[in-house]
Amino acid sequence: MFSKTTKRVYKAGQTGLASLALLSVLSGCVSAPVRRGPALPTAQAPAPAVVAPARPAITRAPAGLENLIQDQWRLFPGRTGVAIMRVDGGEWVLGRRMDELFPQQSVSKTWVVLTVLDMVDQGKLRLDQKVRITRDDLAVFHQPIRDQVIANGSIEVSVLNLLEQAIRASDNTANDSLLRTVGGPQAVNSFIARKNLGAIRFGPGERALQSGIAGLDWKQEYAIGQRFYAARDAVPLAARKAALDRYLNDPIDGASPQAIVRALAKLAKGELLSASSTRIMLDIMSRTSSGPNRLKAGVPAGWSFLHKTGTGQVLPPVSTGYNDIGIMTAPDGTRYAIAVMMGSTTASIPQRMTFMQFVSRAVASYHQN
């Protein structure tokens, strides 16, 4: 359902497209000349084909949408970046803080998985290739695969299965296992540079990233139970705040919202991977289970949406890295790439979700085909 505000904006901002007049075909009758003997057949000239004029590409963002995003963004507490890009039928980009670096958190799993699929395209990896995961490979925070590893001592999982778990379930151990398989952060950053994705950094992997943000040096024992939380709680508040501030001021996994939406547009248009790998990536993103009440909840019926979320650590009253990036597709097939990156905010979770939903609803309200 659209909010009352969105409905009002939609009525005020929608501009009707000029109706297309059909081209008329003039036809005439040709009489056969009078002759002695049977009349000769007269050849009919073929009627000219009726060709509808091509619609002009929409290359300028609706002013109403830009103003609305600006108004809501200004009211939202904290440091937030927003970028919206129309992918089809003409390209435009709008947003706020579009070129600043924001902590990605699990949004960065996107680049790991793309790197893996690129190596599959090059014949350097196979989707059915097995990856061994032991207790020494476990990470921190959300990692549903951990229970299987602890129960069995070690497991072997296919690359395809790990792709699924890294994106759909945002499993940190699955992600770090893929990262290890492709050759580490250097391989991911090389992919980003080779594909000209712009202002996107990839950090050291979940274990080193999260422990550094908390003011800790990683120890493998942190992967089990609540040990990471206990160690983090033992860090003096001043030291923990200093570590968090360093990260937020210069995020090692930082990315700009504009670079993200442009990368998503390249993915959607098949410019990053082979056709088969592109389908795999988009299919997995369409089944993401995290963040159902972020951007996705604002996408209206009849539209489709695929995405990847990211969520950082909290040092009350500040929450960090609360993100969602994705591709919205209108019923007519027009696609929009969206990134909402909340670097730091004191807003409640419902407020954060409401802002994200507002962005995706606004995009749909101002859609022009």
For the chain, the domains span 63-365
What is the model's pTM?
0.85
**Residue 216: alpha-carbon gap to chain centroid:** 30
Query: CA 265 to CA 188: how far, in whole Å?
Result: 19
pLDDT tens string 291-349: 999 999 999 999 999 999 999 999 999 999 999 999 999 999 999 999 999 999 999 99
Q: Alpha helices, DSSP H only, in the chain?
A: 4-13, 63-75, 109-121, 146-152, 159-167, 172-182, 185-194, 206-213, 227-233, 237-249, 257-268, 275-286, 349-365
| Joined tokens for residue 166 | 């890294």
Q: With contact defined as beta carbons under 8 Å apart, do 295 and 307 qualify?
A: yes
Q: What pLDDT, on a 0 to 100 scale, did the predictor assign at position 55? A: 60
Distance CA 346, CA 93 (A): 28
Q: Name which CATH class applies to 63-365.
A: alpha beta
Q: Angle 159-167/172-182 helices, nearest 10 degrees? A: 130
Angle of helix 109-121 relative to helix 172-182, nearest 10 degrees? 40
pLDDT per residue as tens, the chain (369 positions) = 334 333 333 333 333 323 323 222 223 333 333 333 333 333 344 444 444 345 679 989 999 999 999 999 999 999 999 999 999 999 999 999 999 999 999 999 999 999 999 999 999 999 999 999 999 999 999 999 999 999 999 999 999 999 999 999 999 999 999 999 999 999 999 999 999 999 999 999 999 999 999 999 999 999 999 999 999 999 999 999 999 999 999 999 999 999 999 999 999 999 999 999 999 999 999 999 999 999 999 999 999 999 999 999 999 999 999 999 999 999 999 999 999 999 999 999 999 999 999 999 999 999 988
Hey, which residues does 344 pair with through a beta bridge?
79, 320
pLDDT computed for residue 52 by the predictor: 38
